[in-house]
Structure 1
Amino acid sequence: MKTGLTLEFYKYQGTGNDFVMVDNRKDTFPKENTDLVKFLCDRRFGIGADGLILLENDNLSDFKMVYYNSDGNTSTMCGNGGRCLVAFARDLDIIKDKTTFNAIDGLHHASINKDVVALQMIDVAVIQQKDKYSFLDTGSPHHVQIVANVASLDVKKEGAKLRYGLYGESGSNINFVTPLADDTFEVRTYERGVEDETLSCGTGVTAVALAMHKQKKAISNTVKVKARGGDLTISFEQNGSGYKKVFLKGPAQKVFKGEIAC
């Protein structure tokens, strides 16, 4: 890239879902330059990340989250990215242990204790039940499908088939799930925008927990989901046929800080 920009950035990860973080409270980042975002997320020529997140000022809350997928395009809500942004805001001394921030799907409440962030996700009113899968929106669209042995599945191949074949160009994230024990599930996720498997997906594991509870595969209102990058806990309350007070909880950590000429 030849923009003449020297960018200060931070790298954060939440259960292996990694993000380039930029403090954009002075509104200096060229937000329409999708090629720049794609370059920064590139694992060979740039910094390397599943996505890029701008922290910006907001009139309604402590800060605003602007999220880009690694393909350079702005996208829907990212749960692990939101958790990492809370840790970033704490490290910048914007917040202490609790916060409310604005994202593309509305206001989110969160708390942080050391490296563990609990993020309130949006309420889910509808879960579509199909013969072989469930579909729901937890801030991003998610397909949830039980398989016998998710560990041996070719997630990139099978996920791409469904992402494009079933949902078309706009697509959906695809989650493959294997029940392990009572209220515990193993999941692997193909993420649209990344167009590959990621080590973890926050809105995805949230969708899995709610879908499994809806299907009565989970009994408790607290569900543990094991992603390839680590374990996450989802708690919730039933609200008629839907769910409310949905919280995604897990670690979020700073990896490093740096500067890049781009």
Structure 2
Amino acid sequence: MRIPFIKMHGLGNDFIVLDGREDALPALNAATVAELADRRTGIGCDQLIVLEPSHAADFRMRIFNSDGGEVEACGNAARAVAIYHGTQASLETDGGVISLSPQDGGATIDMGQPRFEWDKIPLAYAMDTLTMPVGWDGLGDPAAVNVGNPHVIFFVEDCDAVALEKVGPQIETDPLFPERVNVNVATIESRETIRLRVWERGVGLTRACGTGACATAVAAMRRGLVDRETTVALPGGPLTIHWDDDDRIQMTGPASESYRGTFEWDEFA
């Protein structure tokens, strides 16, 4: 059975998109996702995206990391899906319903309201999520934000100097985070600019993370470090994050289609 796919990316964070809204796809499992995501023997991607019908929104997006695990939200994928869909739409994710507004070369995504309660991150036990009294290998006093998936954010003098490939997996799998966590290290450049690197759970170091940019910007805004609209500069490029008066996060940035193809399902099942 040959399955069509669309290869897309947002600032270098790349996706395989499978459209199952009209014709149902075979059942996915973690092994199949990991095989497809393999950059040597599969198509290769950071995340595999599956579009499905929805009763709660115009359609649904399921998100699988390259290790095969399913996650709740992905801002870069939402922008890619927005330009693929082509018109404004509501999108159901496991992290909630968000809205898509495609633009030339990208999209604005209403990512919804951030959550700060310790049990909504979630954490293993109660603590202040604005300045958490914890640390790992020189990184301390982080903030935690859930923007559809969990993030912990460390504000440091130079995020490029942090050995994120070493400390990232330690923090991701720490028992403090029962659902694991995305790890962000950020440097405040000005009232309007943040420099950011992200260790993404189930993926590793990534060129861009839309939810990480949202979580980091909101954490910086809560601490009074930046204005309510700021540019987050990731290794793959910049995103504009606006936290509006209705407590909703608006993320604007580019996305693009790389190519289309088909694959034989049975070769990866």
TM-score by length of 1: 0.89
| Corresponding residue for residue 208 of structure 2 | 200
Preserved contact between residue 96 and residue 148 of structure 2 (Cα < 8 Å): no
Q: 2:20 is matched by which residue type in structure 1? A: N
- State yes or no: 1:40 paired with 2:36: yes
Offset at residue 25 of structure 1 (A): 1.7
1:98-117 counterparts in 2 under 5 A?
98-117=88-107
Specify the SS of the correspondent of 1:32.
coil
Offset at residue 146 of structure 1 (A): 1.0
- Distance between the aligned counterparts of 2:2 and 2:219, measured in 1? 44
Pick the aligned partner of 1:234 from 241, 261, 264.
Answer: 241
Counting aligned pairs with the same residue, the percent is 29
- Distance between the aligned counterparts of 1:236 and 1:149, measured in 2? 25
| Corresponding residue for residue 164 of structure 1 | 173
- State yes or no: 1:258 paired with 2:267: no
Specify the SS of the correspondent of 1:200.
coil
Offset at residue 73 of structure 1 (A): 2.0
Specify the SS of the correspondent of 1:25.
coil
- Distance between the aligned counterparts of 1:166 and 1:178, measured in 2? 26
Q: 1:205 is matched by which residue type in structure 2? A: A
- Distance between the aligned counterparts of 2:201 and 2:222, measured in 1? 24
- Distance between the aligned counterparts of 1:34 and 1:40, measured in 2? 10
1:1-262 counterparts in 2 under 5 A?
5-90=1-86, 96=87, 98-126=88-116, 128-129=129-130, 130-131=132-133, 132-165=141-174, 167-168=176-177, 170-194=179-203, 196-218=204-226, 220-238=227-245, 244-261=247-264, 262=267
Preserved contact between residue 206 and residue 234 of structure 1 (Cα < 8 Å): yes
Specify the SS of the correspondent of 2:249.
strand
Specify the SS of the correspondent of 1:170.
coil
Preserved contact between residue 27 and residue 56 of structure 1 (Cα < 8 Å): no
- Distance between the aligned counterparts of 1:160 and 1:125, measured in 2? 23
- Distance between the aligned counterparts of 1:88 and 1:106, measured in 2? 20
TM-score by length of 2: 0.86
- Distance between the aligned counterparts of 2:191 and 2:29, measured in 1? 46
Specify the SS of the correspondent of 2:112.
coil
Preserved contact between residue 183 and residue 217 of structure 1 (Cα < 8 Å): no
Identify unmatched segments of 5+ residues in structure 2.
118-128, 134-140
Offset at residue 26 of structure 1 (A): 3.5
Q: 1:184 is matched by which residue type in structure 2? A: T
| Corresponding residue for residue 123 of structure 2 | none
1:219-260 superposed Cα distances (whole Å, 9 cap, x missing partner): x21011001111000001256xxxx12111100100110112
Preserved contact between residue 14 and residue 47 of structure 2 (Cα < 8 Å): yes
Offset at residue 70 of structure 1 (A): 0.9
| Corresponding residue for residue 93 of structure 1 | none
Offset at residue 169 of structure 1 (A): 5.8
Preserved contact between residue 8 and residue 260 of structure 1 (Cα < 8 Å): yes
Offset at residue 125 of structure 1 (A): 4.1
30 and 167 in structure 1: CA distance in 2 versus 1, 3 angstrom threshold? farther
- Distance between the aligned counterparts of 1:65 and 1:37, measured in 2? 15
How many residues are aligned here?
A: 246
More divergent stretch after superposition (197-206 vs 178-187): 178-187
| Corresponding residue for residue 137 of structure 2 | none
Specify the SS of the correspondent of 1:59.
coil
**What value does the CA root-mean-square deviation take over the aligned residues?**
1.6
More divergent stretch after superposition (59-68 vs 135-144): 59-68
27 and 68 in structure 1: CA distance in 2 versus 1, 3 angstrom threshold? farther
Q: 2:260 is matched by which residue type in structure 1? A: K
